[in-house]
Structure 1
């Protein structure tokens, strides 16, 4: 554990507590001795969050409290931030399928971030750690051989999908707010690549769904797509380091474990490590022309065409150097994903 709170009087708000990254952040905060508040759009999910924490080995009890708050409305946020020293703003609007205009994703993402930052500033919160994304760094660039780092920004143009554009514009709006209206409020961002690792419940990321689809045999092969990977436990650990380390003030931190992988590499790891559970995994590349042909009628295929043969390698050297962050290997994250899906009975 990166940071401990031995006297237990420091309170942290984690937004969107049912989410994959958020629940691991809550787990590590409770283990470190913090009191935690978390927001949910519906308090009906409180029992589900507590069950996920138990799966992760933590009985939160009265160390954890819940507040109803939605990023799309003002209600609840003043109560949520009250008494908190830190805020981990992990919640993010869900990507919309079949949207008519990209603003349907961009505007709620930007407004949601600013709503949380304003509430945090007004409550004299010390620091907000914003969960941004690699999507705000590494999309829409010309092909390159050097790894992406925290100085890179995704350009806002027609080459960039709406979701990545929303992550970029909302992070930029956050930094502008801190600069012009933040007063004494500090901020750091964590920009993870595809997040894998132990699943604690039914709420998990798109990269988990990729491993699940491979194990189910839904993918008849692997498109030539390159991606960085990082374990969710290490993403949570980086949030806690960025929360308390003085050096993290005003900084972005890319979260990636080692070198990026091609999808066929992920398939080969599953074949090698997961035995009979991986018998349906297809470790063979799908030709680019077939992906492009399929994209003519398949919306999912259409979204990945711009990613074909793009090197998406990045570096986490900054987080390791400044914050002492030491992530697990990508292979360990992939195997932990598969093992947790088996333990939850999702993969049989």
Structure 2
């Protein structure tokens, strides 16, 4: 078994990667920005049935401190940590700089410590944005166009992944790299701190979304994202490759609403039954910060294919309808105070 570092273990994807690694028998360590988060992280992992030893260390993407110690003695690094999108930043560099510089900090530390391979958690945001409308699904050959006025989060993920590949090509000194590009991540929650994709389902269940917004994208189960990270970590065929993580085809928001109503019955009684016209959503976005983040996606279908991950790594994700239902049931089971 290997010694593996997961950066950002308190995050949604990071925590599930830790759980998958522990279940597979690996020795695992993880980083958090502040060790004050350690008790909450351990409680979160216990909720997921964590079994095994876990070392928690402090390291911040904005500082060199702690990274050498975090990677020292590791065979592999899963670099999951990244700035998260909660509102529109005042300047795009607030997201771009820590994402790009953080990736380079982790890669340098990994190279200097003799780590064998790094698996980078990128995103569909580095693949599918800034393109003209198209019918064919996006693949790993596609890159988002950072000069096309794309949102700051997607731009940060694109530039960070580009920087990672450039580093490997010019300064990697034998360090191996693979990238995982998840679409919208759903699945069971371990705490009330979860991904923005789950926030949409939470708001639908709570009746905070009076009508479905008109856009479509792919979705994937967080447990399958973690599984793909582990496959990319050890399979020789993953070296130098990107892998989109998506279950099936894209879903419109109205499709998710229908799944919830059909499968949850009365528990989904507040889920919207109608679709909001795009012009109304754009007008509302001028005064609603959360909606403003989605306005660039209105009317678009960000479909992608995970055929490569299935073919090369034997990855088999769950049916997304199952994930949508299990996500909703998990959210409904959270304590009301959360």
Question: 2-side partners of 1:336 and 1:346: how far apart?
Answer: 18
| Partners of 1:212 and 1:303 in 2: CA distance | 17
**Inter-partner Cα distance in structure 1 for 2:237 and 2:268:** 43
Alignment of 1:6-155 (within 5 A): 10-60=2-52, 63-95=53-85, 97-155=87-145
State how far apart, in whole Å, the 2-side matches of 1:44 and 1:104 are. Answer: 24
What residue in structure 2 maps to residue 200 of structure 1? 190
| 1:225 shift after superposition | 1.0
Distance 1:47 1:258 in 2: 37
Moved over 3 A (4+): none
Q: Closer, same or farther in 2 for the Cα pair 1:150/1:345, shift >3 Å?
A: same
Q: Choose from 297, 302, 319 the match for 2:309.
A: 319
User: Equivalent residue of 2:249, what SS?
Assistant: coil
CA contact 1:96–1:105 (8 Å) conserved in 2 = no
- Choose which of 126, 151, 164 in structure 2 pairs with 1:174: 164
The answer to whether the Cα contact below 8 Å between 1:35 and 1:64 also exists between their aligned partners in 2 is yes
**Are residues 1:243 and 2:233 paired?**
yes
List alignment gaps of at least 5 residues for structure 2.
none
| 1:290 equivalent among 267, 280, 293 | 280
Hey, what does 2:174 align to over in structure 1? 184
Kept in 1: contact 2:88–2:289 (CA 8 A): no
Q: 2 CA distance for matches of 1:347 and 1:231?
A: 25
CA distance in 2, matches of 1:44, 1:302: 33
Does structure 2 conserve the Cα–Cα contact (< 8 Å) formed by 1:195 and 1:208? yes
Task: Specify whether residues 186 and 159 from structure 1 end up closer, same or farther in structure 2 by C-alpha distance, changes over 3 A only.
Answer: same
Instruction: Give the C-alpha shift of residue 294 in structure 1.
Output: 1.5
Which residue of 156, 161, 164 corresponds with 2:151? 161
Deviation at 1:97, TM superposition (A): 2.9
CA RMSD across the alignment: 1.4
How many angstroms apart in 2 are the aligned matches of 1:226 and 1:216?
21
Please tell me whether residue 216 in structure 1 is matched to residue 206 in structure 2.
yes
Match for residue 333 of structure 1? 323
Measured against aligned partners, the alpha-carbon deviations of 1:282-323 in whole angstroms (never above 9, x if no partner) come to 121001121122223333333322211111110000000000
Distance 1:187 1:275 in 2: 45
Q: 1: distance between equivalents of 2:270 and 2:76? A: 45
Distance 1:100 1:301 in 2: 16
Instruction: Report if aligned partners of 2:117, 2:175 keep a CA contact under 8 Å in 1.
Output: yes
Task: Quote the offset at 1:44 in angstroms.
Answer: 1.5
Which has the larger displacement, 149-158 or 130-139? 149-158
Quick one: structure 1 residues 346 and 231, their matched pair in 2 at CA, closer, same or farther if it must change by over 3 Å? Answer: farther
CA contact (8 A) 2:16 2:226 kept: yes
Residues 257-306 of structure 1: per-residue CA shift (max 9 Å, x gap): 00000000001111111122211111210011211222233333333222
Q: Residue 346 of structure 1: CA displacement? A: 4.6
**SS of residue in 2 equivalent to 1:280:** coil
The alignment's TM-score, normalised by the length of structure 1, stands at 0.94
Q: Distance in 1 between matches of 2:88 and 2:232?
A: 36
Q: Secondary structure at the match of 1:79?
A: helix
1:231 equivalent in alignment to 2:209? no
Q: Report SS of the residue matched to 1:274.
A: helix
Question: Structure 1, residues 128-168: CA drift from partner, whole Å, max 9, x if none?
Answer: 00000000000111000000000000001243001100000
Shift of 1:193: 0.1
TM-score by length of 2: 0.97
The answer as to whether partners of 2:87 and 2:290 remain within 8 angstroms in 1 is: no
How far, CA to CA, are the matches of 1:29 and 1:140 in structure 2? 35
